[in-house]
Amino acid sequence: MPKTIVITGASDGIGAAAARQLARRGHRLVVVGRSPEKIRAVADEAGADCFTADYARLDEVRALAAELAAKYPRIDVLANNAGAILGDRGVTADGFEETFQVDYLAPFLLTNLLIDPLLAGGASVIQTASNAARLSARLDLDDLDNSRRYSPVRAYGNAKLALVLFTRELHRRYHDRGLSAVAFHPGGVSSNFARSSRSPVGTLFRTPVPRLFFQSPDKGARHLLRLATSEPGRDWESGAYYEKGKARTVKAPPMAVQLWDRSARLTGLEPEQAARG
């Protein structure tokens, strides 16, 4: 049965590849990106609806959520795929460290603002995370803005760990109402993901190495495709984090509830918008 599938970060990489492949399978695709020109090109190729939003501006995330909720009263899949690894520490117009906002806080806000159409669709919420959540994260509830001992890789890992914790708590709060949540690591992908990053990772992505040793976006999108089109509870476990198609434990302090509550306050969500379930 065709699904209504929303993919953020769909201008390039695995988001764009997944959109094209899912559209060929007959699903109704909704793609979201920062660049109007790039996301329109993907939408035209996939026959998808498209929206633009810059995750470095939470007012644009709120506007995006309002547009999506008005047009799609039922959403079957939300793929929170947007993200970036940056360079020197920057602060957004909203006052948050940029990696924390773009990679975690904006998806947290969007998901909460779309909770009604997601529940109506018995949706799967899929987070594109990273093994950086296991390897480089040092998440501190008292320093979510990464103001102490900042590095691009640590900030990225912290944001991805926050997504994994968000996945667990989204499952706990809403799974008994039909919503499922999962996070996954897509593996190394040869794409434009980090080429503009002012970091050692960005330097690597501007060399031939990714093209020689990393998988293509089409191949990297296979995990997102599997999660979007298969059945939670039968084919994958809600609340879990996956690498290479297998559930993997991510060790972290028991802070998922506190992180959710802190994130709700930071994004200005009303209690009833972020504390249901």
Catalytic status, residue 242: no
Q: How many CB atoms lie within 10 A of CB 70?
A: 9
- CB-based contact 16:7 (threshold 8 Å): no
- CB-based contact 3:26 (threshold 8 Å): no
> Which pairing describes strands 49-52 and 124-128: parallel, antiparallel, or unpaired?
unpaired
SS3 270: coil
What is the distance between the alpha carbons of residues 89 and 3, in angstroms, rounded to a whole number?
39
Q: Any residues with CB less than 8 A from the CB of 95 and at least 6 apart, and which?
A: none
Q: Which amino acid is at 163?
A: L
Catalytic pick from 156, 174, 241, 242? 156
Q: How many CB atoms lie within 10 A of CB 150?
A: 14
> Which pairing describes strands 246-247 and 241-243: parallel, antiparallel, or unpaired?
antiparallel
Cα within 13 Å of Cα(197), Cβ side: 26
Token couple for 93: 């117009």
Which strands sit side by side in the sheet containing 241-243, from one edge to the other? 49-52, 28-33, 4-7, 77-80, 124-128, 180-185, 241-243, 246-247
Residues carrying an active site annotation: 156
